Chain A
Amino acid sequence: MPSAHRAFERTGGVTESSENLQKLPLDGWHRARGGRMVPFAGYEMPVQYEGIMAEHLWVREHAGLFDVSHMGQLLFHGPEVDRALETLFPGALLILKDGRLRYSMLLSEDGGIIDDLMATRRGEQFYVVVNGATKEGDIAEFEKRLPRTIVMDHMKEQALLALQGPEAVQVLDAIVPGVSELSFMQAALFHWDGKPLWVSRSGYTGEDGFEISVSSRDVEALADAILADERAKPIGLGARDSLRLEAGLPLYGHDLDTATTPVMADLTFAIGKRRRAEGGFAGSLRIMAELENGAAQKRVGLLVEGRQPVREGALILDGEGNEVGRITSGGHSPTLGRPIAMGYVATPLAGEGSALTLEQRGKLFQATVTPMPFVPHRYFRKQGA
């Protein structure tokens, strides 16, 4: 093809060769369905089946099945496991009820983000899902920084599926009755065909949907059962990326890294109220100061004028042409039919409506800071839940 500036790489910052790539439990299943496999997070993963645009729009209207088995599924237990995890996460875990989950972050001692994650209280245990590209490093951090009394189990035998979209609830409830009773950010154990499934009402597309932890032995049969419903189609990484961008959700290794803090990343919703007052988590001195005074930079959403996508690495300039930030994710929004982006910009220029200039390969683009999400979230929140 014409020479590409950047091939499709969402690698979480890890340089990848085609060697030493791991295979997903559904590897053959993806190939049989026409999945185009690319390296991602150390795995061969499907970037698309019929095409990114069609898959993206399908998820916004119907239900899309994603294989996210590359992600790390960790189970922690031991005395006061919630308190132990609170030393590394800024989220309020002590008050998290059984079967509830929360978006949080693994922080370094200086408050940088080592990874972002989902943490669920599961009886006496905590179930934590981390990014695929970072899971080995995370595990080393947990081993080093948690007390010896806390036991961590890396659930390598578990696959992870996500079913996302406005029809996901009908599709899944038809074969796993009862999942429709879950509220957003709630999880429980269910059974399908006698096999245990850990089902969370959560995801990373901005749509209603579920994430399903299932044994690698059973994942193919479950995926087939879901796709037997014509409202569901398999969706690749390409659409996963454009969907999460429209939803304003950051991608680790691109929009988040160890040089960003939760305040810079505009993720302060994930810092519990008590935790803001008390601190006591990794990097809390810096993060509490940033909560009070603001951080030097802030993650913002940008609407880009024109039609050309402006992608990761583009510069953000002020009115005088000074560099004031960088684009960390950007592309064409299939839902809005226009280019959108997110990036970090000097906080005084981060307000809604702020007019900025972007520079990509010597070409200038006009852009305006806009609240995220770009496309409204449609999570299912039960009354009184």
Chain B
Amino acid sequence: MSLYFTKDHEWIRVDGDVATVGISNHAQEALGDIVFAEVPDAGKSLSKGDDAAVVESVKAASDVYAPVGGEVVEGNAAVGDDPSLINRDPEGEGWFFKLKLSDPSELDGLMDEAAYREWVATL
């Protein structure tokens, strides 16, 4: 299992050929109180960079992009039911969706956790 991050503050946890995607703790802090989340349905095909999910806080609406391409195997119904889960546990229970990687080489060039935390500290 390996963990990657993007400069859009998304994280990707890869287990075999399945990637779980969510937003980082830094992202949820910047967004503030999250009041709405919409995640993709299983079966949806996403290319890297597609709009994949929507997250809205009291102050702003944001898109979550697919950081890698693949077919969605599960959207997290729990964050749709209780969006504040993303504030409470952004890098754990507050994940957005899981997809089956179509091209694992798309992971190349993403940051590992140490590089991401170091970069975020400079923002």
Contacts and interface: CB of A to CB of B under 8 A. Distances in A.
Interface of A: 1-8, 47-48, 51-54, 238, 242, 307-309, 311, 331-332, 334, 361
Contacts of A54: 33
B116 interface: no
B32 A48 contact: yes
B30 interface: yes
A2 B8 contact: yes
Most chain A beta-carbon neighbours within 10 Å: one of B9, B10, B35, B55: B35
A332 B63 CA distance: 18
Interface of B: 8-10, 23, 26-27, 30-33, 35-36, 38, 54-56, 58-65, 83
Nearest to A52: B58
Given A2-B65, A4-B62, A8-B60, A238 B9 contact: no
Contacts of A4: 60-62
8 contacts: A1-B8, A2-B8, A5-B60, A52-B33, A53-B32, A53-B58, A332-B35, A332-B56
A311 B33 CA distance: 16
A238 B33 CA distance: 11
Contact of A1 (B54, B56, B62): B62
Contacts of A52: 32-33, 58-59
B35 to A, nearest CB: 4
A331 B34 CA distance: 12
Given A1-B9, A2-B10, A332 B36 contact: yes
A336 to B, nearest CB: 12
B32 A2 contact: no
A1 B61 contact: no
Contact of B59 (A8, A334, A361): A8
B31 A238 contact: no
A8 B30 CA distance: 11
A1 B33 contact: no
Contacts of B61: 4-6, 309, 311, 361
